[in-house]
Structure 1
Amino acid sequence: MTQENKNTSNLRFLNPPALTKPPGYTQVVEMTGPGRTIWIAGTIGTNRDGKLGEDFRAQAVQTFENLKAALESVGASFEQVVKVTNYLVDFGHLPVFYEVRDRYVNTSAPPASTAVQVSGLPRGALLEIEVVAVLPLK
């Protein structure tokens, strides 16, 4: 099954029939032709003043808002995100994580995604997310 990203014609999102179709992410994302690749470092749920959200939901929302701002700084949006790596200190938070994530990512052509449970994150954060986006050449 192929899902074309409507905003970036050089991207294809595929879930090959030989693999189980995953919920909420795509198994293979292909980029063809010229483009710009953007790597955004691991981002946590701190506000502009460096204050960390009080609970997992608040941190998740702030983390995605921070990623949104980082993407916008290069003229991108979550539509161009092709890979997400999610670090959580407790997989018990996955239902809330998925709920928040799905308000930001393109759920009709979701990025490839990896989730890792870790023993700790900087500043006591409950999650950290890094993304890769691909945009056409300017």
Structure 2
Amino acid sequence: MSQLSYPTPQGVAAGNGYSHVVTGTGRWVAIAGQVALDAAGEVVGAGDPAAQARQVFANLDACLAAAGATFADVVKLNFYVTDLAILPAVRVARDEHVDTANPPASTAVQVVGLFRPELLLEVEAYAVVTD
């Protein structure tokens, strides 16, 4: 687990469910964008934002574990959604995995589409791990 710091920038409005700044020292881990595909490559929860978000965060968890990291080490999450209206479902899944008192920095972007039309979101993560 890394030692992370969450400084509060002067003159910037507080984030809602995310931190503006996260710092830490250690080994950098980049997790490619994860989508709602299971281990067999099948879409989980076609048309269901909550089911897709749960699968995406399960995939992120597995990727972090493979790197010797946990969600406690995550410093940044980037969300790509096909419709901003699904963000509440995504936030529920996110909040089951991150420390909501010290959440990672975050960006959310609405995109025209992902590589398969039934996918609603993609999330990439960056972590800092102290070995």
One-letter amino acid of the counterpart of residue 25, structure 1: Y
Please give the alpha-carbon distance, in whole angstroms, between the structure 2 residues aligned to 1:100 and 1:14.
25
Q: How does 1:114-133 map to 2 (within 5 A)?
A: 114-124=107-117, 125-133=119-127
Deviation at 1:83, TM superposition (A): 0.6
Please give the alpha-carbon distance, in whole angstroms, between the structure 2 residues aligned to 1:120 and 1:22.
26
Question: Counterpart of 2:29?
Answer: 38
Q: Are 2:74 and 2:128, in contact at CA under 8 Å, matched by a contact in 1?
A: yes
Deviates more, 1:69-78 or 1:49-58: 49-58
Q: Are 2:2 and 2:24, in contact at CA under 8 Å, matched by a contact in 1?
A: no
Runs of 4 or more consecutive aligned structure 1 residues displaced over 6 Å after TM superposition: none
Q: 2:42 aligns with which of 28, 40, 51?
A: 51
- TM-score, normalised relative to structure 1: 0.88
Deviation at 1:14, TM superposition (A): 2.2
Please give the alpha-carbon distance, in whole angstroms, between the structure 1 residues aligned to 2:7 and 2:33.
25
One-letter amino acid of the counterpart of residue 47, structure 1: D
One-letter amino acid of the counterpart of residue 112, structure 2: S
One-letter amino acid of the counterpart of residue 17, structure 2: G
Q: Are 2:49 and 2:120, in contact at CA under 8 Å, matched by a contact in 1?
A: yes
CA offset digits 1:76-112 (Å, max 9, x no partner)? 1000000110000000111111111100111111000
Structure 2: which 5+ runs fail to align? none
State percent identity of aligned pairs. Answer: 43
Structure 1: which 5+ runs fail to align? 1-6
Please give the alpha-carbon distance, in whole angstroms, between the structure 1 residues aligned to 2:6 and 2:121.
26
Please give the alpha-carbon distance, in whole angstroms, between the structure 2 residues aligned to 1:71 and 1:119.
28
Please give the alpha-carbon distance, in whole angstroms, between the structure 1 residues aligned to 2:124 and 2:72.
15
Please give the alpha-carbon distance, in whole angstroms, between the structure 2 residues aligned to 1:14 and 1:104.
21
One-letter amino acid of the counterpart of residue 111, structure 2: V
Measured on the aligned residues, the alpha-carbon RMSD in Å equals 1.1
Question: Counterpart of 1:4?
Answer: none
Question: Counterpart of 2:90?
Answer: 97
Aligned length: 128
Q: Are 2:78 and 2:108, in contact at CA under 8 Å, matched by a contact in 1?
A: yes
Greater relative contact order structure (CA < 8 Å, 6+ sep)? 2
